[in-house]
Amino acid sequence: MASSVSTSSLFLLFFFATSLLLSNAFPAQHYPLHHHGRPRSAAHNYRDALTKSILFFEGQRSGKLPPNQRVTWRRDSGLSDGSAMHVDLVGGYYDAGDNVKFGFPMAFTTTMLSWSVIEFGGLMKGELQNAREAIRWGTDYLLKATAKPDTIYVQVGDAKKDHACWERPEDMDTPRNVLKIDRNTPGSEVAAETAAALAAASLVFRRTDPTYAKLLVRRAIRVFGFADKYRGAYSNGLKSFVCPFYCSYSGYQDELLWGAAWLQKATRNPMYLQYIQVNGQELGADETDNTFGWDNKHVGARILLSKAFLVQKLQSLRDYKGHADNYICSLVPGTPLSQAQYTPGGLLFKMSDSNMQYVTSTSFLLLAYAKYLTSSHQVVSCGGVVVTASRLRSVAKKQVDYLLGDNPLRMSYMVGYGPRYPQRIHHRGSSLPCIAAHPAKIQCSSGFSIMNSQSPNPNILVGAVVGGPDQHDNFPDQRSDYEQSEPATYINAPLVGSLAYLAHSFGQL
């Protein structure tokens, strides 16, 4: 954890943190630093980007907002969520630019925010508490959604009817249908991801709030048991509601492996280690699917389990170092096994819809794996080419730098960071006038005139990272283009960890 500092230093930290929040584009600082034996300077203010990447989550909050809410153009919303089924489902996050609460990406967001803090929280200084609060906003909701045994409430809102309106969350009048999984309608992918989120978060709160941490881990154990015992895809049982929005294309095996990996880490119960050893192959431990995101967790599970071998010296998980290395080799440019596609400007490109989520999740995995390799004095061998931890860090840094403005358009893809960033993001609350400016209700369809206009969004959703440019580095900045212009919680969650690492590396924290 951070070392103690003097009162004057604390005042300075507070002053800087306040300054960062009040500025939209704090100028980049240059900090020459001898890191791994080389003098380095930062082209970006990673500390400012870190502050903003966490602040974004406050703009995505649903429910009753707390007195210390910093994104003040947002107000309370969804205060009767769950009442259709006589349960309390108030709270949680809107996943992106619409007003539906989808449990599957919300759980993944919570897992990745937690992993960011587990690996790099010790470097976050003043932002650590904000990161914890972002996690807790997610876990408080997931605890409500899993309160009944063998039942998980996985969605609030009718996505099709929500998408037929363009209205502020505060004005919502679309149906707040509640969807659930249970023994008769199983959903192992969303249940196991929820278990992963609760288990990972329990590690975040273990020291600061042990009672809460115990509650989280007990619930994680119960939810994982349900996921494993009643196997089935929620994309089957609830297909007409969850597809094509958060339909799981990778199946539920990856989530079972991922959930077990997090429970092994959170509980240290040999039962989960045995589960992984017995079921790992069947659950796809060595598959070559190299995309990590809200749908497919195989790669994340491999990296996490390789840590147990590399750092905790769990010999029974030795194979996961090889599985993780295969992923790394497929990614790093210039190795004989590299399969990754990059844009002419150097951005990792996986797909046209919300590509930046893969950029942020991949960068985080590279930095986390570099940390594990460094602590165990190991390298990766890719077809005879040695790839070091510092090479992984430089690949990750290049991706984050591209996101922050080192790209052909000289545009930051994080709203509110740098002199040039997206002005017309696909986000209802950001694009429509706030309650203070326009107290009268904005009806369902009347918002579309604003959505289709060329006017910049009136409310700056500071820290939001959008889907990003296409494979040719082009970005039209059109509100109607949700593939490129929509932000999402699962884009930001892994970026939090990467920015904390980079800010620390360049002496900014």
Exactly one of 287, 470, 477, 483 is catalytic; name it. Answer: 477
Phi, psi of 366 (to 5 degrees): -60, -45
Find residue 181's DSSP bridge partners.
152
Contacting residues for 23 by C-beta, under 8 A, at least 6 apart = 48
Q: Write the CB contacts of 313 (distance below 8 Å, at least 6 apart in sequence).
A: none
Nearest in space to 119 (alpha carbons), one of 311, 403, 291? 311
Selected catalytic residue, list 48, 98, 295, 325: 98
- Given the structure tokens 């619930």, which residue do they identify? 219
CA atoms in the 13 A half-sphere facing the CB of 13:
15
C-alpha distances in Å from residue 327, one per residue of 10, 13, 109, 292, 346: 42, 39, 22, 10, 19
Residues in the chain: 509
Beta-bridged to residue 385, according to DSSP, are: 382
**Is 35 annotated in the active site?**
no
Handedness of CA 170, 172, 173, 179 (dihedral sign): negative
Spatial distance between the Cα atoms of 498 and 503, rounded to a whole number of angstroms = 9
From 426, 427, 473, 504, the catalytic residue: 426
The residue annotated as part of the active site, out of 162, 170, 486, 504, is 486
Please state, in angstroms and as integers, the Cα–Cα distance from residue 228 to each residue in 52, 69, 103, 267, 279, following that order: 38, 38, 18, 17, 11
- The residue written with tokens 């999740």 in the block is 361
Spatial separation of the C-alpha atoms in residues 393 and 411, rounded to whole Å: 22
In terms of DSSP bridges, do strands 33-35 and 38-40 run parallel, antiparallel, or are they unpaired?
antiparallel
Residues 6+ apart with CB under 8 A from 226: 149, 150, 152, 191
Catalytic annotation on 98? yes
Question: What is the bridge-based pairing of β-strands 178-182 and 380-382?
Answer: unpaired
Supply the residues annotated as catalytic. 98, 426, 477, 486
